[in-house]
């Protein structure tokens, strides 16, 4: 059995109203959790989202020998005990791509690490070549065997200078953390600039690291000793994708929706796109207020590394464009498998043409109809929720536990609180194809 969400559509009416609180950021929390491996004492992490991916990463650390205490909702302490394993437990690590960021700290601290090729969302090929290159540049030897990697740095990691051929978020974070305990200076050029990276650097610097340039495309890390978490509890930043997903939902279906505890400055690109489509958006320091207009205009979007339009909001935005008058082009530049979910939107009534694996053409406005849906990844899962709210009739979204629940905390209760008619049921998984 797995969980499904049953949603009664609004048939295009703007009925949402109220306030939704943004959670701590998944993609910041996961890296802060991995970073605890760089500490000689206990680290306290707060505003951690209670989502499946976080649970799984804690499970991995515990299995490797960490002491993890769930103090209360959103608050955890982590201590890396003696005898901590240098093997990322394959059964757990294989289930989530983000586990790969733990390899940097483990290798830097213990001189070796082994891990399986990680899984995660089905959004593209997602290679590990930049990780392998980086480990080798820092003086480690990498052996690949049967889908697993063993990395060893005899005598410890050495600082190195490297240029990333792609601005990868997890590669940047992995080597920023590895550099903290390496001998000498590490320089990462063409680094990713996502706010979660800057946040991780701030956290590590508060606890003794020497990182400069995080948030720009060149990051310099001076290697040093193990960090100390004493007196420095770390609060996870707001999740820009969680806030952005509710923003898109509000832009389609809200009389007035207040999104609180967020940072609107992290959402400049999506806010600009929605405004040019005719949506009324007001921003305050940590709040966004959105009202859905009666007419939406088509806009083209192109995903890009930060501060460009985030790939993680591409699917919600594509749903939005099905309701805009005219023709919109969606260009997904980061992941080649991240438009496959559009087949399901077409089955709901959207007029979407796939031009190539990276580009679709959306013609609006289309009336959407409730359907049975199964998402390939968590972001498309939330996009289906938005489509279901807009649609006529009832939709059933399957496999919520392995998609939406991985990244969105308490999603059904938060949706219900703003007026969505949603129910969670246990269902036997069905195979649904709309191809
Ligand atoms: N890439 C390589 N070689 C590598 C690693 C990556 O060529 O060794 C390429 C990828 O194929 C891709 C590009 O680099 O074309 C960028 O991918 P990136 O590595 O930045 O993605 P990621 O670090 O695996 C993180 C987020 C994703 C988010 C992307 C882009 C985490 C845990 N994941 O992934 O979030 O989509 O950055 O912003 O931080 C999600 O939350 O749903 C999610 C998928």
Asked if residue 412 is part of any domain, the answer here is: yes
Which of 34, 170, 196 for a ligand 1 pocket mutation test, highest count of atoms within 8 Å of Cβ?
Answer: 170
Q: From the annotation, which residues make up the binding site for phosphoenolpyruvate? A: 26-27
In 3D space, the residue among 424, 346, 342, 418 whose CA is nearest the CA of residue 377 turns out to be 342
- Assess whether 76 and 151 both reside in one domain: yes
Pocket lining for ligand 1, CB < 6 angstroms: 26-27, 30, 97-98, 121, 126-131, 166, 168-171, 192, 311-312, 334-335, 378-379, 407
**Closest ligand 1 atom to 98 CA:** 32
Of 191, 206, 235, the residue that ends a domain is 235
- Assess whether 203 and 106 both reside in one domain: yes
Asked if residue 137 is part of any domain, the answer here is: yes
pLDDT value of residue 275 = 98
- Assess whether 48 and 14 both reside in one domain: no
The whole domain housing 274 covers 2-23+238-427
* Ligand 1 center from residue 191 Cα (angstroms): 12
In 375-386, which positions are buried (b, 16+ CB within 10 angstroms) versus exposed (e)?
bbbbbbbbbbbb
Q: By alpha-carbon position, which residue is closest to atom 24 of ligand 1?
A: 170
- Assess whether 212 and 320 both reside in one domain: no
Asked if residue 435 is part of any domain, the answer here is: no
- Assess whether 30 and 61 both reside in one domain: yes
Asked if residue 173 is part of any domain, the answer here is: yes
Asked if residue 283 is part of any domain, the answer here is: yes
Q: By alpha-carbon position, which residue is closest to atom 40 of ligand 1?
A: 312
* Ligand 1 center from residue 252 Cα (angstroms): 28
**Closest ligand 1 atom to 335 CA:** 15
* Ligand 1 center from residue 382 Cα (angstroms): 19
Of 175, 208, 235, the residue that ends a domain is 235
**Closest ligand 1 atom to 310 CA:** 38
- Assess whether 74 and 159 both reside in one domain: yes
Q: By alpha-carbon position, which residue is closest to atom 6 of ligand 1?
A: 168
- Assess whether 320 and 396 both reside in one domain: yes
| Dist CA 207 CA 320 (whole Å) | 42
Cα→Cα distances 391→166, 210, 270, 346, Å: 38, 51, 23, 12
* Catalytic annotation, residues: 121
- Assess whether 217 and 270 both reside in one domain: no
Q: What would the two tokens of residue 416 be?
A: 């219900």
- Assess whether 293 and 389 both reside in one domain: yes
- Assess whether 291 and 305 both reside in one domain: yes
Asked if residue 318 is part of any domain, the answer here is: yes
Q: Residue ranges of the chain with pLDDT lower than 50?
A: none
| DSSP-assigned states of every residue in 306-361 | TTSB-GGGHHHHHHHHTTSBEEEEEE--S-TTTTTTHHHHHHTT-EEEEEETTEEE
CATH code at 180?
3.65.10.10
- Assess whether 53 and 7 both reside in one domain: no
Burial class (CB in 10 A: 0-12, 13-18, 19+), 89: middle
- Assess whether 253 and 376 both reside in one domain: yes
Q: By alpha-carbon position, which residue is closest to atom 17 of ligand 1?
A: 168
Asked if residue 434 is part of any domain, the answer here is: no
Of 220, 235, 250, the residue that ends a domain is 235
Asked if residue 432 is part of any domain, the answer here is: no
| Dist CA 167 CA 134 (whole Å) | 13
* Total number of domains in the chain: 2
């Amino acid at each position: 059995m797995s969980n499904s969400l049953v949603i009664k559509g609004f048939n295009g009416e703007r009925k949402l109203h109220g306030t939704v609180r943004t959670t701590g950021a998944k993609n910041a929390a996961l890296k802060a959790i991995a970073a605890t491996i760089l500490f000689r004492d206990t680290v306290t992490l707060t505003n951690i989202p209670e989502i499946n991916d976080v649970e799984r990463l804690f499970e991995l650390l515990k299995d490797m020998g960490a002491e993890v205490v769930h103090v209360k909702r959103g608050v955890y302490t982590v201590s890396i005990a003696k005898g901590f394993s240098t093997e990322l437990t394959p059964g757990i690590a294989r289930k989530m791509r983000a586990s790969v960021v733990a390899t940097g700290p483990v290798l830097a601290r213990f001189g070796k690490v082994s891990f399986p090729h990680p899984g995660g969302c089905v959004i593209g090929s997602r290679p590990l070549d930049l990780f392998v290159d980086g480990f080798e540049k820092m003086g480690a030897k990498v052996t690949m065997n049967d889908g697993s990697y063993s990395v060893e740095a005899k005598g410890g990691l050495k600082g190195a200078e490297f240029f990333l051929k792609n601005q990868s978020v997890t590669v940047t974070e992995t080597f920023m953390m590895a550099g903290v305990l390496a001998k000498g200076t590490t320089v990462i050029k063409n680094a990713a600039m996502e706010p979660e990276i800057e946040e991780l650097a701030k956290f590590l610097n508060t606890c003794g690291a020497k990182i400069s340039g995080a948030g720009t495309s060149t990051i310099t890390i001076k290697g040093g000793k193990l960090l100390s978490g004493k007196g420095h509890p770390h609060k996870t930043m707001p999740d820009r994708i969680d806030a952005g997903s509710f923003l898109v939902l509000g832009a389609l279906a809200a009389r007035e929706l207040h999104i609180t505890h967020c940072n609107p400055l992290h959402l400049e690109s999506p806010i600009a796109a929605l405004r040019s489509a005719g949506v009324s958006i007001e921003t305050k320091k940590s709040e966004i207020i959105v009202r859905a207009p009666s007419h939406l205009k088509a806009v083209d979007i192109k995903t890009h590394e930060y501060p460009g339009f985030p790939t993680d909001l591409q699917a919600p935005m594509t749903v939005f464009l099905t309701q805009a008058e005219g023709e919109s082009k969606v260009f997904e530049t980061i992941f080649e498998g991240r438009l496959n979910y559009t087949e399901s939107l077409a089955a709901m009534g959207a007029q979407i043409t796939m031009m190539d694996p990276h580009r679709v053409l959306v013609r609006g406005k289309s009336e959407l109809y409730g359907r049975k849906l199964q998402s390939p990844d968590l972001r498309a899962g939330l996009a289906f929720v938005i489509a279901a709210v807009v649609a006529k009739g009832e939709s059933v979204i399957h496999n919520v536990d392995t998609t939406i629940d991985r990244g969105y905390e308490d999603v059904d209760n938060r949706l219900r609180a703003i007026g969505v008619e949603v129910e969670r049921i246990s269902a036997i998984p069905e195979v649904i194809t709309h191809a």
